[in-house]
Amino acid sequence: MKESEHFLLNNQVKMPKIGLGVLFAKNNKEVENAVISALESGYRKIDTASAYENEEGVGRAIKNSGVPREAIFLATKVWNTEQGYETTFGAFERSLNRLQTDYVDLYLIHWPVASKYKETYRAMELIYKKGLAKAIGVCNFSANQMQDLMEHSEIVPAVNQVEVHPHHSQLDLLDFADQHGIRLEAWRPIMMGEVLKIPELVEIGNHHAKTPVQVALRWLVQRGVAVIPKSVTPKRIQENIDIFDFELSASEMKIIEGLNQNRNLGENLSHIF
């Protein structure tokens, strides 16, 4: 990937603007083929999690892809039931073993467990200091939770991975992240395909000879938000990364901003794994 296709995190680590998400991808040839297809299409970031139960498949795919490990930005997450100071170290070690790697590029708290996220993050700070994670961060934290965490930690999180898409633009959280040098990363960026039915995105896409999915992803990247669209279909995986050869105008960006409904598609997602 080109330099222009990366964001610089607050610790100067480069992270690709787009990666492959593998939520719900089965821990067999499905996830393996998806990861290999993504790497063949030019992706250099893979986002998984302990709770996805497919780290083994991701690890096998990376090993068999022919792409050097150091060329891949690999992210995983500590799950709710694994949180706590001592238990986080064990969870991290298990993830490394399943992924067949001796480090990850980004380690994240999957959801903010109120009684545990501060001690979990304290363990992650030690993992980071040992060089076992190149960057650390969180997922699904509100601005208040981020503020609370930062008041009790040494290292400002590099990333906050949250639900962001045209119907849930997260403007306040984006402002907070910008003020503190934290990079937002969007899960569900294409609303599980719902963006295909949004007329404004269809019209903008027609103007650029792009799909509504590509428009939604481009909108996020232009806002400074990283994206990890999920797919196991090679054609869609290829289409999703094809967003760096066009630019949305200021008026087009404003039209998409106007689609916001504060609509949370993944409100109860933390309880379904």
Q: Which residues are catalytic?
A: 52
The pair of structure tokens assigned to 246 is 């066009």
How far is it, in rounded angstroms, from Cα 185 to Cα 96? Answer: 22
> Is the Cβ–Cβ distance between 204 and 190 less than 8 Å?
no
Sequential DSSP letters for 59-98: HHHHHHS-S-GGGSEEEEEE-GGG-SHHHHHHHHHHHHHH
**HSE-CB for 211 with a 13 A CA cutoff:** 18
- Residue from 233, 201, 197, 234 nearest 220 by CA: 201
How far is it, in rounded angstroms, from Cα 192 to Cα 183? Answer: 22
